[in-house]
Amino acid sequence: MERTLVFIKPDGVHRRAVGKILQRFEDKGLKLIGLKLAQLSNELVNRHYAEHTGKPFFESLVQFVLAGPVVLIALEGPEAIAVVRKLVGATSGLEAAPGTIRGDFSVSKSFNLIHASDGPESAAAELSRFFTDEELVDWTPTDWGWLGVGAK
Ligand code: CMP
């Protein structure tokens, strides 16, 4: 079982696509363990995107993510990190496959609606960056036993 961090960027919130995007994760069978709307601080966004510092798109990326509230989502499920990345699609909405979130909602490299952790280390770091331990709720969906979720 893995946990991963996703956030819907301000373009998704402004376009009132939050419900549709959350639906994709619920439909897939992932478990919601954390959820909140937040206006991120400049310091937090700079820390989150530190690896992109100095790239040509860095300043506009930071301004974009600060342009309105984001929806922070923590998810759990079997191989959740890779499963979520597949649902989200390629970084650029121009290249993302139809059926993925970015493929269905974006025609831009920058305004791509959603961020998702790209591996176990970033998932752990990003979950603790955006959620306290108390905000992450441990629970067991009733259908997981029936569906053999987590079974090999
Ligand atoms: P995200 O998954 O949040 O991780 C880094 C973000 O930088 C990415 O989504 C895009 O929003 C943005 N990004 C990555 N590459 C480019 C690019 N070439 N031009 C503009 N924005 C980019």
Of all residues in the chain, the percent with pLDDT exceeding 70 is 99
User: What are phi and psi for residue 144, nearest 5 degrees?
Assistant: -65, -35
Q: Whose CA is nearest to atom 20 of ligand 1?
A: 110
At the top level of CATH, which class does the domain 2-138 belong to?
alpha beta
State yes or no: pLDDT of 58 exceeds 90: yes
Find the mean pLDDT for residues 58-79: 97
Distance 29 CA to ligand 1 centre (A): 27
Could you give the CA distance from residue 100 to residue 140 in angstroms, rounded to a whole number?
Answer: 27
CA 57 to ligand 1: nearest atom: 20
Task: Provide the pLDDT confidence category of residue 144 given band limits of 50, 70 and 90.
Answer: confident
Pairing of strands 31-38, 114-116: unpaired
Structural domain spans, the chain = 2-138
Find the mean pLDDT for residues 116-132: 98
Task: Provide the pLDDT confidence category of residue 149 given band limits of 50, 70 and 90.
Answer: confident
Could you give the CA distance from residue 26 to residue 57 in angstroms, rounded to a whole number?
Answer: 32
pTM above 0.85, yes or no: yes
Distance of CA 22 to the CA centre of its chain: 10
Q: For residue 152, what pLDDT is reported?
A: 61
Clarify whether 52 is annotated catalytic: no
| Residues within 6 Å of ligand 1 by CB | 52, 57, 61, 91, 109-110, 112, 115
State yes or no: pLDDT of 125 exceeds 70: yes
